[in-house]
Amino acid sequence: MAEKLTCRLAVLVSGNGTNLQAIIDSIAAGEINAVITCVISNQPNAFAMQRARQHGIPTVIHENIGFADRRAYDAATVEILRSHQVNLVVLAGFMRILSDVMVDAFPHAIMNIHPALLPAFQGLHAQRQALDYGVRFSGCTVHFVDGGTDTGPIILQAVVPVDQDDTEETLSHKIQHEEHRLFPTAVKLFAEGRLQVTGRSVRILP
């Protein structure tokens, strides 16, 4: 029988990198047949970069300096990703909106995690939006990235209850707990070739 190919990931970050850590741990535990070829940050001081270095993962600081526009920046990102022969791009707290240059280069191969139950509360401060709206439940969503902001085909979701005493901080904490389980699961499904996208719908194959 032919040996299964190892999925080659790139993780794009801007901040703390707890989701990156969850994926690193899941690969190290042998739960995902994948290798993180590089971690790319637009923020040189992102703590996520320290996490990557600690695990011997190559890092690339890719600041938005000297690029004419978003598409030019993304063209440079695509070059980095191609040079690492990446199969799946994972946005783990990457605080930039992607242009068509990135989205078209990796169709149905860019995943994002959003701290709300999409399509509710798209964009920034999703936890604040959920509290302000008064919903009883929120959660997180892993989705493929398309041309919009937080609009692509949904892969997995997890629900958390919103309690009346929740603050933005406590709700974020509860959501992150679920994120750290959900994101590695979605990456695993992709690595196993079990995500079939038809239009907006993502079918999980057995």
CB nearer to ligand GRF: pick between 92 and 195: 92
Q: Rounded to an integer, what distance in angstroms lies between the CA atom of residue 134 and that of residue 164? A: 9
Residue from 74, 166, 178, 179 in contact with ligand GRF (CB under 6 A): 179
Residue from 24, 109, 115, 171 in contact with ligand GRF (CB under 6 A): 115
CB nearer to ligand GRF: pick between 17 and 81: 17
Catalytic one among 62, 84, 114, 180? 114
Is residue 153 close enough to count as binding ligand GRF by CB under 6 A? no
Stretch that binds ligand GRF, among 25-33, 113-121, 130-138, 151-159 (CB under 6 A): 113-121
CB nearer to ligand GRF: pick between 115 and 152: 115
Q: Rounded to an integer, what distance in angstroms lies between the CA atom of residue 194 and that of residue 190? A: 6
For residues 128 to 147, the per-residue mask of contacts with ligand GRF, x marking binding by CB under 6 A and - elsewhere, is: ------------x-------
CB nearer to ligand GRF: pick between 23 and 189: 23
Q: Rounded to an integer, what distance in angstroms lies between the CA atom of residue 19 and that of residue 158? A: 15
For residues 13 to 52, the per-residue mask of contacts with ligand GRF, x marking binding by CB under 6 A and - elsewhere, is: --xxxxxx---------------------------x----
Number of residues engaging ligand GRF in binding (CB under 6 A): 15
Is residue 114 close enough to count as binding ligand GRF by CB under 6 A? yes
Catalytic residue check, 108: no
Residue positions annotated with a catalytic role: 114
